[in-house]
Structure 1
Amino acid sequence: MNSTYIEQSSPKTQSVEALGKLIEAGMNVMRMNFSHGTHEYHKKTVDNLRSYLASSKSPRTVAILLDTKGPEIRSGKLVDHCDKNLVAGSTFTFHNDESRLGDSTQVATTYKSLATTVVPGDRILVDDGLIGMVVQSVDTEKMEVVCTVENDGVLGETKGVNLPGKIIDLPAITKKDAADIQFGVENNVDFIAASFIRKASDVNEIRDLIRGTGIKIISKIENQEGLDNFDEILDASDGIMVARGDLGVEIPVEQVARFQKMMIRKCNIAGKPVVTATQMLESMIVNPRPTRAEATDVANAVLDGSDCVMLSGETAKGAFPTLAVSMMARICREAEADINYSELYPSLRRHLQLPISVSEAVAANAVKTSWDVHAALIVVLTQSGATAINISKYRPIAPVLAVTASHQVARQCQVLRGIYPLVVESMSGTENIIHRAMLWGVKMGMAQKGDAVVVTSGVLEQIAVQFKMYKASLLPKKQRKIWNLLLTAILGLQLYAIFQLSTDLKTLKCKVEQNQVRLQDKAAVVPKKEHLPHGHYLKNIATRLDDPQIPLYPDQEYSYDDFESIFELKYLGQVVVKNSALEAMLNKHDIYTDEEYLSDKETKDNYAKKFESYLEQKDHKKEHMERYAVKWASKETGFGLFAKVDIQPGEIIGIYTGVLHDGDENTDFTWYYASSEFASGHLELGVDSLTEGNYFRFVNHHDTRFNVICDRVPYNNRWHYFYIAVRPIQKGQQLLTHYGDDYFESRSKN
């Protein structure tokens, strides 16, 4: 069961026993509607929920969602507090005098600017659109609006009033909303469902009230202005609620389905949870079974990509609240069984805007690998929940166990499709956590012995353990301190492993394939490929992981011929040629071979072979970077770059991505080339020890100070080489191209 169920509490379902029944039926998130009830009432609901969870033997977590009243417009009180019958064709007046009780001819509204907002011919809808009126005249002095009633109807007290297509002059956060949100902060709610969000600044105002609390914002789209500004609202929010009640009144009802699908699709692409709400099983307020149309509506919401489906009146005032929840769960399970997850993954990948973060890249490929190895379970170790969000985005068919030490993160994972949270005392001791997670997965029926389990982690301690175990041992002792310090800066870098559940569940064994920590013999790790693309390809080259201007597109292969200048970006610098012999070489149009030197006139101590600014492919020559030549007092000559901006330790300067190569043991993980010549004139690129070489070739000075350290991460049949600054580098500082002791003798430090 992958979908999440949000249910509204009410006096009818407020007791500990009633809430327990809803939880057992499948409720993941409890919604508190602050359009009704006092703080004392809602506090009792929160206490009852937590009382049940504390007394229950089940480790279930249930999130709490606070739904604000928002800047809504409502009608006023009525004479005798009784409903009034309205007749089609009659005249009806709206005014601002809330002390004047309403009847069948007039009523007050809470919106003081009504008379200056509408004009004759506009429509006013009351009670979710059940009563329609057309404006006939407006008196801005008396602040009265005279209308004609379109249809017979019954007017109740404090009913919602909608002005379709009108921009409402109301604050994003009312005084009541601010007080309610403060109540939520004090009582540790997990989500704020922000009503009537119209633009990103509305979300930001709420964000200011909850900053530092970890509470997430679910923006409710309920009017045309919210639709018009949807992209900016989505960007500012943690999730979206398709609030079809008011939305279906504000826009033509026949357009609701189209906009629902649009919002769900954009949320899926953005990797943010989306809730579909309102009248999902409306008839179950009075009937024990939903209509066929309602069942189909719920199923289609799941098939469209909703993370959550929500019940409102069905559980708040319905006669069958528990039955409605279980019915919702049954419908969702059937719909989920019909989803083609193998098509969903590439569909989501096609919409990516590259480059993506390392965290998301690893999560995406963890999902893909779970398909490739038919994994029964994905285990995610997460502190903030970000890794779980990224995994959920790519809709794995395998259940995902999100392990975290944060109760808040665990509860917030409840709105993520396919994610099952597990709370542990601490995130230290990675192997024990993984072991415990696998045992729990078996206990819950998610996996059984012999199944493959994909494990991924965004936890820094996990990164440190893996890198120290498999990388630091390769470094000289004097460099290990630098490397360990560097680990503290790589918060976003993840690794993941594929484990196989052993028969006794005590020994974690690496299973196979391309994306793993090496826990077994190397020969068992390297995938054997019958064929690989001929050519040296780049898929992701960037100087910053979050640079939106890098011209890369999803699901394409890029050769060097496709780029004007790969490294002419933020960190790698533009420089000028300062050496006439070098300039003459650059102006040549033929292919340079490994035997050609900078200048025949220079001595052996003062020459260098062709440098990394070029990569030859057939008869084409491309510059990776502009370069300079430099001579030192030692008479050595080198090539390199000027730093274009200040660079801080821990910043990722660049990434190479290359295709795995099926070769002998020494070249199993090197790149696959179009010819025997790479930029440096040889095929051997993979060097684990930094004393022997450096992949980036420009990163080191001629003294003993390192500029950059390199490491590589395998996934998706590619090596990803990361180049990360280990000390401050100032703008304009020279970064020497490295050629090794063979060319510059012992003065050249790698």
Structure 2
Amino acid sequence: MRRNRKVKILATLGPASSEEAMIEKLFLAGADLFRINMSHASHDVMRTLIARIRNVEKRMGRPIGILADIQGPKLRVGKFANTKVTLTPGQTFTLDNNEAPGDETRVFLPHPEILESVKAGDRLLIDDGKLHLKAIKCDGKSIVTEVISGTSISDRKGVSLPDTLLAVGVLTPKDRADIEAVLATNDVDWVALSFIQRPEDLAEVRKMARGRVGLMSKIEKPQALERIDEIIELSDALMVARGDLGVEMPLEAVPGIQKQLTRACRRAGKPVVVATQMLESMITAPVPTRAEVSDVATAVFEGADAIMLSAESASGAYPVEAVATMASIAQKVEEDQHFTGIIHAQRSEPNPTGADAISLAARQIAETLKLNAIVCYTASGTTGLRASRERPAMPILTLSPIVKTARRLSLAWGLHCVVTEDATDLDDMVNRACRIVVSEGFGGPGDRIIITAGVPLGTPGSTNMLRIAYIGSDGVTGI
């Protein structure tokens, strides 16, 4: 099975899509990998979903990636004596360490790290920004604020801190337990980390993972943007999580930030996912709004590696239709006459390494000679990511003897991943590539392909060879 598009689709599983038959329908509709949201999934549910995805993978004969999305710290106020209170702009309202039920003047904040970190002048946004407070006095035990806008607050509403850098890491005890459970399965390909603020937030998870999963940083905090180059360098991929980002940043700033992050990841050769509310209306309607179609198209035109569905596929009434609609939009955008020019205009210079030079040359030769495909032999996945970074016009087939590598690469733009044994010699390398190109539907006898590999064969990180091959009349022999 091959996709007629380069951008990948990441679909979230949930109550509407947890059965194996539905997962198969989502894959057939266009989902390339699946997200398990650990905010809602227990460890048993996670293991069940993984098993079902792997059963679908076996039947489809295609590597399918799995991403576990870690919840991160959920900052919430305490409870009120009467569940909800009414506030007036201009009044003072205090958040403190007193566990007594709240009233019109104060409420318990069960997060000492916030009480110790907030400074006068910092903003506190409650309930996704519906209530806007400004700190006017802080002593480490309480925060006296002025109500700027909003008229009410109720039990356990979330707190966002757009101006405050918390002095603690992003992992909660639940997060650590979830990550350990994910790693124990040895069957998850990506872990997404929520509310990353600084590069140091990745260190603990990197130590726990020891290379067993790729680390995806979710960009949701303004503080992350201040050190974004360092965060990208230490991450394996990025997610533009526009939901929480749109709470803590002005809404009108989010589209520009999305472009900034997409282009920064493309320069770095790191996969980038655009997420949140892409087809929101399809939670309850069988067709999207015109604005949502344009939103998806914008992400595809920018060259994002993947676009994500959240509630649309997890709990909506039309999960299959949402995936199929997203796939249809992406395919149409990539067929647009302006798409190639826009993608090429954003292409960056390769790094001064032999492997990057080989990937650049492969793309240039393939486009100049109008070859059918670029074929990359890769063990670690690095060669595949380099080829994807070039954003070539033709398909990229990545051949790997390691199934975990193929699954992880299912996130990357334009890569069609195939699990196969390593080539035994140069003739086998060419013949195997030709045979797979034909069997996967990317070419036939008489077509030409270009192959990148490392010599000695099977040596990770040694990409140093290009080979142009004709597919022989038998469809399995390269000339």
TM-score normalised per structure 2: 0.90
Give 3-state SS (helix, strand or coil) of 1:272's partner.
coil
CA distance in 1 between counterparts of 2:455 and 2:13 reads 36
**Aligned residue for 2:209?**
210
Query: In the alignment, does 2:374 pair up with 1:404?
Result: no
CA distance in 2 between counterparts of 1:285 and 1:31 reads 17
Query: In the alignment, does 2:70 pair up with 1:71?
Result: no
CA distance in 2 between counterparts of 1:427 and 1:259 reads 43
Give 3-state SS (helix, strand or coil) of 1:266's partner.
helix
CA distance in 2 between counterparts of 1:183 and 1:272 reads 26
CA distance in 1 between counterparts of 2:412 and 2:11 reads 16
Is the 8 Å Cα contact of residues 121 and 136 (structure 1) preserved in structure 2? yes
The verdict on how the C-alpha distance between 1:88 and 1:217 changes in structure 2, with shifts beyond 3 A counting, is: same
Equivalent runs, 1:721-740 vs 2, <5 Å: none
The verdict on how the C-alpha distance between 1:16 and 1:506 changes in structure 2, with shifts beyond 3 A counting, is: closer
**Residue 59 of structure 1 is aligned with which of 26, 46, 61?**
61
CA distance in 1 between counterparts of 2:310 and 2:87 reads 30
**Aligned residue for 2:467?**
497
The verdict on how the C-alpha distance between 1:491 and 1:278 changes in structure 2, with shifts beyond 3 A counting, is: closer
Query: In the alignment, does 2:95 pair up with 1:94?
Result: yes
CA distance in 2 between counterparts of 1:183 and 1:59 reads 27
**Aligned residue for 2:113?**
113
- Report Cα offsets for 1:103-162 as digits up to 9, x if no partner: 887654442233343355543222332x1222365464763545527235685x654311
CA distance in 2 between counterparts of 1:508 and 1:136 reads 70
**Aligned residue for 2:7?**
3
Letter matched to residue 420 of structure 1: H
Letter matched to residue 250 of structure 2: P
**Aligned residue for 1:128?**
128
Letter matched to residue 162 of structure 2: P
Give 3-state SS (helix, strand or coil) of 1:280's partner.
coil
**Aligned residue for 2:391?**
395
Letter matched to residue 113 of structure 1: E
Query: In the alignment, does 2:381 pair up with 1:385?
Result: yes
Query: In the alignment, does 2:223 pair up with 1:219?
Result: no
**Residue 52 of structure 2 is aligned with which of 44, 48, 53?**
48
Give 3-state SS (helix, strand or coil) of 1:327's partner.
helix
Is the 8 Å Cα contact of residues 94 and 142 (structure 2) preserved in structure 1? no
TM-score normalised per structure 1: 0.59
Aligned-pair CA distance for 1:396: 0.9
Is the 8 Å Cα contact of residues 198 and 226 (structure 1) preserved in structure 2? yes
CA distance in 2 between counterparts of 1:97 and 1:40 reads 36
CA distance in 2 between counterparts of 1:431 and 1:343 reads 38
- Report Cα offsets for 1:12-55 as digits up to 9, x if no partner: 3211122112111111121122222321222222122223323x
CA distance in 2 between counterparts of 1:120 and 1:491 reads 51
The verdict on how the C-alpha distance between 1:362 and 1:280 changes in structure 2, with shifts beyond 3 A counting, is: same
Letter matched to residue 189 of structure 2: D
- Report Cα offsets for 1:234-270 as digits up to 9, x if no partner: 1111111111111112221111111111111111111
Query: In the alignment, does 2:333 pair up with 1:335?
Result: yes
- Report Cα offsets for 1:489-539 as digits up to 9, x if no partner: x95241111111222214311xxxxxxxxxxxxxxxxxxxxxxxxxxxxxx
**Aligned residue for 1:595?**
none
**Residue 273 of structure 2 is aligned with which of 272, 275, 283?**
275
The verdict on how the C-alpha distance between 1:86 and 1:315 changes in structure 2, with shifts beyond 3 A counting, is: farther
Give 3-state SS (helix, strand or coil) of 1:219's partner.
strand
CA distance in 2 between counterparts of 1:106 and 1:328 reads 46
Kindly report the root-mean-square deviation, in angstroms, between the aligned alpha carbons of the 2 structures.
2.7
Query: In the alignment, does 2:34 pair up with 1:35?
Result: no
CA distance in 2 between counterparts of 1:88 and 1:333 reads 50
Letter matched to residue 195 of structure 1: S
Aligned-pair CA distance for 1:428: 3.2
Q: Matched residues, percent identical? A: 35
Is the 8 Å Cα contact of residues 434 and 476 (structure 2) preserved in structure 1? no
The verdict on how the C-alpha distance between 1:123 and 1:426 changes in structure 2, with shifts beyond 3 A counting, is: same
Letter matched to residue 14 of structure 1: S
**Aligned residue for 2:431?**
435
**Aligned residue for 1:619?**
none
Give 3-state SS (helix, strand or coil) of 2:203's partner.
helix
Aligned-pair CA distance for 1:328: 0.9
**Aligned residue for 2:347?**
348
Is the 8 Å Cα contact of residues 33 and 410 (structure 2) preserved in structure 1? yes
Higher helix share goes to which structure? Answer: 2
The verdict on how the C-alpha distance between 1:446 and 1:88 changes in structure 2, with shifts beyond 3 A counting, is: farther
CA distance in 2 between counterparts of 1:79 and 1:289 reads 44
Equivalent runs, 1:194-273 vs 2, <5 Å: 194-213=193-212, 215-273=213-271
**Aligned residue for 2:164?**
166
The verdict on how the C-alpha distance between 1:192 and 1:77 changes in structure 2, with shifts beyond 3 A counting, is: farther
Give 3-state SS (helix, strand or coil) of 2:16's partner.
helix
The verdict on how the C-alpha distance between 1:147 and 1:404 changes in structure 2, with shifts beyond 3 A counting, is: same
CA distance in 1 between counterparts of 2:199 and 2:140 reads 34
Q: Could you tell which deviates more after superposition, 424-433 or 392-401?
A: 424-433
CA distance in 1 between counterparts of 2:208 and 2:455 reads 28
Give 3-state SS (helix, strand or coil) of 1:124's partner.
strand
Give 3-state SS (helix, strand or coil) of 2:11's partner.
strand
Aligned-pair CA distance for 1:375: 0.9
Equivalent runs, 1:561-600 vs 2, <5 Å: none
The verdict on how the C-alpha distance between 1:105 and 1:440 changes in structure 2, with shifts beyond 3 A counting, is: farther
The verdict on how the C-alpha distance between 1:491 and 1:308 changes in structure 2, with shifts beyond 3 A counting, is: closer
Is the 8 Å Cα contact of residues 380 and 401 (structure 1) preserved in structure 2? yes
**Residue 358 of structure 2 is aligned with which of 357, 362, 374?**
362
The verdict on how the C-alpha distance between 1:191 and 1:152 changes in structure 2, with shifts beyond 3 A counting, is: same
Aligned-pair CA distance for 1:430: 5.1
**Aligned residue for 2:478?**
508
Q: Which has the larger radius of gyration?
A: 1
Letter matched to residue 51 of structure 1: N
Aligned-pair CA distance for 1:410: 0.3
Give 3-state SS (helix, strand or coil) of 2:451's partner.
strand
CA distance in 2 between counterparts of 1:154 and 1:281 reads 29
Aligned-pair CA distance for 1:94: 3.3
Is the 8 Å Cα contact of residues 281 and 295 (structure 1) preserved in structure 2? yes
Aligned-pair CA distance for 1:365: 0.6
CA distance in 2 between counterparts of 1:220 and 1:393 reads 20
The verdict on how the C-alpha distance between 1:84 and 1:10 changes in structure 2, with shifts beyond 3 A counting, is: farther
Structure 1 residue runs of 4 or more that deviate by more than 6 Å after TM superposition: 102-105
- Report Cα offsets for 1:629-648 as digits up to 9, x if no partner: xxxxxxxxxxxxxxxxxxxx
The verdict on how the C-alpha distance between 1:43 and 1:336 changes in structure 2, with shifts beyond 3 A counting, is: same
Is the 8 Å Cα contact of residues 359 and 458 (structure 1) preserved in structure 2? no
Q: Could you tell which deviates more after superposition, 30-39 or 300-309?
A: 30-39
CA distance in 2 between counterparts of 1:323 and 1:103 reads 46
CA distance in 2 between counterparts of 1:461 and 1:118 reads 56
Give 3-state SS (helix, strand or coil) of 2:10's partner.
strand
CA distance in 1 between counterparts of 2:19 and 2:81 reads 34
The verdict on how the C-alpha distance between 1:232 and 1:141 changes in structure 2, with shifts beyond 3 A counting, is: closer
The verdict on how the C-alpha distance between 1:88 and 1:291 changes in structure 2, with shifts beyond 3 A counting, is: farther
Aligned-pair CA distance for 1:61: 1.7
Aligned-pair CA distance for 1:343: 6.7
Q: Could you tell which deviates more after superposition, 20-29 or 140-149?
A: 140-149
- Report Cα offsets for 1:309-368 as digits up to 9, x if no partner: 11112122212111111111111111212354367457524x445xx2111110111011
Letter matched to residue 94 of structure 1: L
The verdict on how the C-alpha distance between 1:248 and 1:383 changes in structure 2, with shifts beyond 3 A counting, is: same
Is the 8 Å Cα contact of residues 6 and 30 (structure 1) preserved in structure 2? yes
Q: Could you tell which deviates more after superposition, 438-447 or 359-368?
A: 438-447
Instruction: Specify every segment of 5 or more residues in structure 1 that has no aligned partner in the other structure, as ranges.
Output: 463-487, 510-750
Letter matched to residue 183 of structure 1: A
Letter matched to residue 229 of structure 2: D
**Residue 313 of structure 1 is aligned with which of 281, 304, 311?**
311
